[in-house]
């Protein structure tokens, strides 16, 4: 279970804050193809602004490279069915094996003028400060596994409108917000089966002809 789950969750979180349905937040894999995509969609017409794009930093920091209990014998997970109801799997015990990592992102806001860009930036800053929770969803064996992390807003917002850009036919404004998820994890989610005993036979010492049985199921395992 890789970093792309954080990409999807963060892009979805930002998208839910935008009221204009015509504006799509571009995820990191889409941002890398931003200009080709926009040219294709617009048939080489001038690109429509605003554009909100999310890109991931080039480095993913592994915060712990030593073997720890969390990396091989992790925590029991909360699982949900496709309707969002919490479920308790009867045949498998789902556990989260994890290695902590830190992921950095750039959120770029492209607008036609400074006033509009300033307004988007203000709203994003307030939302990230007040609502930093980021919930990722891991699909696994017909259930959804949820894990919560926190998005931290870096204290500097950069106006980099004066970069040598040749992608738009006219002037534009670009603000960049830097985001960090420093309580993220790389996941390994193994399924560990339960052992069920439906009947147990007991032979009492010195009484070879006497047996006692239990008929109740006894699940064993964590």
**Residue 215: predicted pLDDT:** 36
The larger pLDDT score, comparing residue 136 to residue 94, is at 136
Which of 42-51, 138-147, 211-220 shows the lowest mean pLDDT across its residues? 211-220
**Residue 194: predicted pLDDT:** 44
Concatenated DSSP letters of 191-217:
EEE-EEES-EEEE-TT-TT-EEEE-S-
Q: Looking at the predicted structure, is the pLDDT value of residue 186 above 80? A: yes
Residue in the structure block whose two tokens are 């607008």:
111
Q: Looking at the predicted structure, is the pLDDT value of residue 200 above 80? A: no
Mean pLDDT, rounded, of the chain: 77
And the tokens for 116?
């509009």
Helices marked H in the chain — which ranges?
4-17, 28-31, 34-42, 69-72, 114-130
CA pair distance 160, 57, nearest whole angstrom: 17
Residue 168: pLDDT band by 50, 70, 90 thresholds? Answer: low
And the tokens for 66?
């030593």
CA pair distance 170, 149, nearest whole angstrom: 39
Q: Looking at the predicted structure, is the pLDDT value of residue 53 above 70? A: yes
CA angle 87, 88, 91 (to 5 degrees): 125
DSSP helix/strand/coil, 24: coil
pTM: 0.73
Of the candidates 105, 111, 125, the residue with the CA atom closest to the CA atom of residue 161: 111
Residue in the structure block whose two tokens are 């091989």:
72
The residues near 219 (Cβ < 8 Å, ≥ 6 apart) are 194, 195, 196
CATH number of 4-220: 3.30.2000.10
CA pair distance 185, 131, nearest whole angstrom: 20
In DSSP terms, which residues pair with 140 in a beta bridge?
A: 143
Q: Looking at the predicted structure, is the pLDDT value of residue 127 above 70? A: yes
The residues near 127 (Cβ < 8 Å, ≥ 6 apart) are 17
And the tokens for 188?
């390994």
Residue 101: pLDDT band by 50, 70, 90 thresholds? Answer: very high
Q: What percent of the chain has pLDDT over 90?
A: 36
pLDDT in tens, 20-29: 888 989 998 8
pLDDT in tens, 64-99: 888 887 787 766 666 777 677 777 655 445 677 889
**Residue 150: predicted pLDDT:** 96
């Amino acid at each position: 279970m890789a970093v792309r789950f954080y990409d999807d969750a963060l892009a979805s979180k930002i998208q839910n804050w935008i009221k204009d349905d015509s504006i799509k937040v571009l995820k990191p894999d889409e941002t890398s193809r931003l200009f080709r995509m926009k040219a294709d969609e617009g048939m080489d017409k001038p690109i429509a602004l605003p554009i909100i794009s999310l890109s991931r930093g080039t480095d993913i920091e592994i915060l712990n490279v030593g073997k720890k209990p969390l990396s091989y014998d992790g925590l029991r997970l909360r699982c949900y069915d496709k309707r969002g109801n919490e479920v308790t799997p009867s045949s498998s015990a789902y556990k989260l094996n994890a290695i902590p990592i830190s992921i950095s992102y750039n959120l770029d806001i492209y607008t036609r003028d400074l006033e509009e860009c300033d307004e988007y930036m203000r709203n994003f800053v307030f939302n990230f400060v007040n609502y930093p929770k980021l919930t990722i969803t891991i699909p696994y064996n017909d259930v959804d596994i949820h894990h919560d992390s926190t998005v931290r807003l870096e204290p500097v917002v950069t106006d980099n409108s004066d970069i040598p850009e040749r992608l738009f036919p006219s002037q534009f404004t670009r603000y960049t917000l830097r985001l960090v998820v420093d309580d993220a994890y790389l996941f390994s989610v193994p399924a560990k089966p339960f052992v069920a005993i439906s009947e147990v036979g007991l032979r009492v010492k010195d009484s070879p002809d006497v047996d006692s049985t239990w008929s109740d199921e006894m699940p064993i395992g964590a």
